[in-house]
Amino acid sequence: MSVGPTECPPYVLKEMSRPIYDLRDRDLIEIHLENLELLRRIFHSSGKIMVFASSSFSAMEAAIANLVEPGDPVLVINSGFFSGFMAEMAQIHGGRVFLTPSFEEQPITLDAFENALSECDAKVVCMVHNETGTGLRTPIERLCLLAHSYDALTVVDVVSTLGGMRVDVDGWRIDVAFAGCQKCLNVPPTLSVASISERAWQSFENRKNPVKLWYLNFKTLKMAIGEKPIFPYTFPIHSILALNASLKHLLAEGLENVYERHKRESTVAKRFVRELGLSMHNRCEACPGCENEEAYCALTVTAFKTPIQAMKVVEKMEHDHGVRISAGLREHQEDVLRIGHMGWQAQPPFTKATLTSLASTLKNLGLKLNYEEALAGLL
Ligand SMILES: Cc1ncc(COP(=O)(O)O)c(C=O)c1O
C-alpha cells in the first residue's frame, strides 16, 4: 500500500515472465499500438500518445525541453516537491521561470493563478495534479481552461493520478499530460506515458531553436507512433506487455467505476485516520469533505501526520503485518505517513487490512488514540 512503485497484480506479473520478443516483431508493435489507443481512452485525449522507455521524470523533462525555448516565460505552480523539479528543468532548458508563492498546504486559487498568468505572460504553465508527497490536489480542471484562455500551453504532471482519478485532457485543454506506469497502472517501474495536444505539437514544430536532446526529443519518439512505427531504441519489452494487460483490465472495469473505487477507498482511509484523532498533512480539514468539488485531497494518496517517527511505524507495520505504507518526503520524512490507493491496491480488503494494521502498530508503539471508535467505523 505504498504510494509507488505499487504492488503488481497477478495478471501484470504473468506478462513479465513471457519469452522475449524481437523489437521489430510485428506482434509486439501491434501490442504497442494497442497500448497507445487504450491510453488515449484513459487520458480522454485526441492528441498524440507517447510511451517513454524511462521513468516519469523523463516524460516531464521531454515535455519541458521540447516546448520551452531559451527566454520563454514559464509559470510553475509551486505546489511542493515535484513542482520544484519542473521549475528546475524549465530553467535548465533556458526558460525564464516564474515560480508562484508556495501553495503546498492549500491549492492555488483561480484568482491567484490568473494574477500570476497575467503578470508573466507565460508561454508554458506547469503544474502537478497530485503532489504525491503531501496528497495535495491542484484543481487542474479549472486552471488549464484558464491558462488556455491566455493562450498558454499547459504541462501537467498526472504521475500519481492517471488511472485512479479522472484526467480529461481534451475537456480540460491540457497540452501535455504525463504519468508513470508504476503508480495507478501497477506496472513495474520502467515506462512513462504522455498525451501531447495538436497545439503543443505545432509549437514544437515551429521552434526557432533545436531541442538539445536526442533521446527525449519528440522527433525521436515520434518514430514509435507514426506510420510504420519502430522503436527508436531498446524498449523494456515486458513492460509493454504488462502495460497492455493492465490497461485492458482497467478499461474492462470501466473508467467511471475505477474513479468511484478510488474515491470510496480514499474516503474510508481519510475518515479512519481522522477518527483515530490524527490530522491530514495538507490541512484538508478545512474542506467540506472528500466528495466535494472543492476538496483538495487527492483520491490516490492519504497523507497524515504522525507523532511517532514515520519510518519506525512503516518498518514495524511491515514486520508485524506484512503491510508496507510510505513515509513522507524530504522535510516530512519523519512526521508524515502516506497510504497509496492506486490502481489494484484501491480495494476494500487491502484498505481494511492496512487500516487495522496501522491501528495495531500505532497502539503497540504506545500512542494513545481513538482506536475503538475508528475500528468500529470500519466494520
Ligand atoms: C507527482 C510525481 N511526479 C513525478 C515523479 C517522478 O517519477 P519517477 O520516479 O517515475 O521518475 C513522482 C514519483 O513519485 C511523482 O509522484
Which of 132, 162, 176 most suits a substitution to test ligand 1, by most atoms within 8 Å of the C-beta?
132
Q: Is the peptide bond before 5 cis (omega within 30 degrees of 0)?
A: yes
pLDDT higher than threshold 50 for residue 286: no
Q: Ligand 1 in contact with 82 (CB < 6 A)?
A: yes
Q: Which CATH number fits domain 254-378: 3.90.1150.10, 3.30.428.10, 3.30.430.20, 1.20.1740.10?
A: 3.90.1150.10
Distance 155 CA to ligand 1 centre (A): 15
Q: Ligand 1 in contact with 56 (CB < 6 A)?
A: yes
The number of CA neighbours under 13 Å toward the Cβ of 285 is: 11
CA distance 197 to 369: 49
Q: Centre a 10 Å sphere on the Cβ of residue 126 and count the other Cβ atoms it contains.
A: 31
Calculate mean pLDDT across residues 365-373: 96
What are the pLDDT digits (tens) for 91-130? Answer: 999 999 999 999 988 899 999 999 999 999 999 999 999 9
CA distance 262 to 285: 20
Domain 10-250 belongs in CATH node 3.30.1360.70: no
Out of 77-91, 164-178, 291-305, 362-376, least confident range: 291-305
Which of 54, 55, 159 most suits a substitution to test ligand 1, by most atoms within 8 Å of the C-beta?
159
Please report, for residues 53, 181, 356, the alpha-carbon distance to residue 191 in angstroms, rounded to integers and kept in the order given: 5, 6, 33
Residue written as cell 497484480? 9
- With bands split at pLDDT 50, 70 and 90, how would you rate the model's confidence at 291? low
The number of CA neighbours under 13 Å toward the Cβ of 223 is: 15
Which regions of the chain carry the CATH code 3.90.1150.10? 254-378
Contacts of residue 93, defined as CB under 8 A and 6 or more positions apart, other chains included, come to: 64, 65, 68, 212
Helices (H), the chain: 10-15, 26-43, 56-67, 81-92, 110-120, 140-149, 198-205, 218-222, 237-253, 255-276, 310-321, 348-364, 371-378
Helix (H) or strand (E) holding 156: strand 153-157
Calculate mean pLDDT across residues 198-219: 97
Distance 80 CA to ligand 1 centre (A): 12
- DSSP-derived letter for residue 189 is B
Q: Are the beta carbons of 323 and 357 closer than 8 angstroms?
A: yes
Q: Centre a 10 Å sphere on the Cβ of residue 293 and count the other Cβ atoms it contains.
A: 9
Distance 191 CA to ligand 1 centre (A): 12
What are the pLDDT digits (tens) for 223-266? Answer: 999 889 999 999 999 999 999 999 999 999 999 999 999 999 99
The number of CA neighbours under 13 Å toward the Cβ of 231 is: 21
Which regions of the chain carry the CATH code 3.40.640.10? 10-250
pLDDT higher than threshold 60 for residue 293: no
Q: Are the beta carbons of 170 and 200 closer than 8 angstroms?
A: no
Q: Ligand 1 in contact with 185 (CB < 6 A)?
A: no
Helices (H), 156-236: 198-205, 218-222
With both helix axes pointing from N to C terminus, report the angle between 255-276 and 371-378 in degrees, rounded to the nearest 10: 160
